[in-house]
Chains A and B, each alone.
Chain A
Amino acid sequence: AQTVTQSQPEMSVQEAETVTLSCTYDTSESDYYLFWYKQPPSRQMILVIRQEAYKQQNATENRFSVNFQKAAKSFSLKISDSQLGDAAMYFCAYNTGNQFYFGTGTSLTVIP
């Protein structure tokens, strides 16, 4: 069975500091996509970053970057220079072409 595990239900970070959210997944596929989504209190799901499994280079989007370790099936999200607006629930997700699998989420608090 495909699974996505986020082992940190809650995390906190000081404003302007860096935080890393962890995610591991289980799959027997070789071709797939990984995503991080942000869900602020408004409940809207917002795509933060995407990683193709066939690419060795880690994806980056401004202050957001990932550490993709394919052999270890690990996909962590690093947020640099944290801002108050980064406070949200973050979900890791995995897709192999048809079905999507989401983790249980990490609630991130940003401390002023």
Chain B
Amino acid sequence: EAQVTQNPRYLITVTGKKLTVTCSQNMNHEYMSWYRQDPGLGLRQIYYSMNVEVTDKGDVPEGYKVSRKEKRNFPLILESPSPNQTSLYFCASSFTGSYKSYEQYFGPGTRLTVT
């Protein structure tokens, strides 16, 4: 089954404790991306990756890191989480192509609470 998986689905942590949210896709997609969703703000892009070893900042990258060592995986790292990073996080992936289709497939979301 074609899918994007994220782990964990729910996470409660404390300020300053490093954490990683994993994202994996089995569709051989080149493009992968992370978003955060906050009430009244919609989805905002954190980082995206056009392919292996190619990552770039989205609109809200501060406080986050990513890496793309393998095509299927795109982990999101919070080195020192703070309460303002409490949010719902989505990973997404898609093909890229000459027509820039970018029809994204989303993971189920990770609800992160930082106390």
Please determine whether B44 and A97 come into contact, CB atoms closer than 8 angstroms: no
Contacts of A96 in B (CB 8 A): 100
Digit string of B35-46 for contact with A (CB within 8 Å is 1, else 0)?
100001111110
Complex CA gap A43/B89 in Å reads 11
Q: Is B22 engaged at the interface, CB distance under 8 Å to the other chain?
A: no
Indicate which residue in A6, A45, A95, A104 contacts B102 across the interface (CB closer than 8 Å).
Answer: A95
* Residues B92 and A45 in contact, CB atoms below 8 Å apart: yes
Number of A-B contacts (CB under 8 A): 58
Q: List 29 A-B contacts (CB under 8 A).
A: A4-B42, A6-B42, A31-B100, A33-B100, A33-B101, A33-B102, A43-B88, A43-B108, A43-B109, A44-B106, A45-B92, A47-B103, A47-B104, A50-B101, A50-B103, A91-B42, A91-B43, A96-B100, A97-B100, A99-B48, A99-B59, A100-B33, A100-B48, A100-B58, A100-B102, A101-B59, A102-B35, A102-B42, A104-B40
Q: Hey, which bits of chain A sit against chain B, CB under 8 A?
A: 4, 6, 31-33, 35, 43-45, 47, 50, 52, 91, 93, 95-105
